[in-house]
Amino acid sequence: EWAIQDISLSGKYSMPETSLRENLKLEIPGSYTYNDIVKSINSLYGTSNYKRVYFNLDGNKAKRNLNI
């Protein structure tokens, strides 16, 4: 489980950033497991607006950033 302090979005996306963040269904800051993040990413695929979505985490144990 990771403590995530922020989400960064990059790349091409076809919906407003606020809608994209809402579709992720992650309350930030919050603590999430790998499965929580995958479930969140899958909800983006459910919108049929994306072919590929990649994510990674950076930062330290106390403060991580989720990059999508």
Q: Which residues contact 64 (CB under 8 A, 6 or more apart)?
A: 2, 3, 4, 5, 57, 58
Strand order in the sheet with 2-8: 30-32, 2-8, 64-67, 56-59
The pLDDT value recorded for residue 46 is: 86
Taking only the tens place, the pLDDT of each residue in 25-59 is 999 999 999 999 999 999 988 888 888 899 999 99
The confidence band for 14, taking pLDDT boundaries of 50, 70 and 90, is confident
Q: Please state the pTM of the whole predicted model.
A: 0.86
Could you tell me the CA-to-CA distances from 41 to 44, 53, 55, 60, 64 in Å, in that order? 5, 7, 9, 22, 17
The pLDDT value recorded for residue 48 is: 84
pLDDT at 62 over 90: no
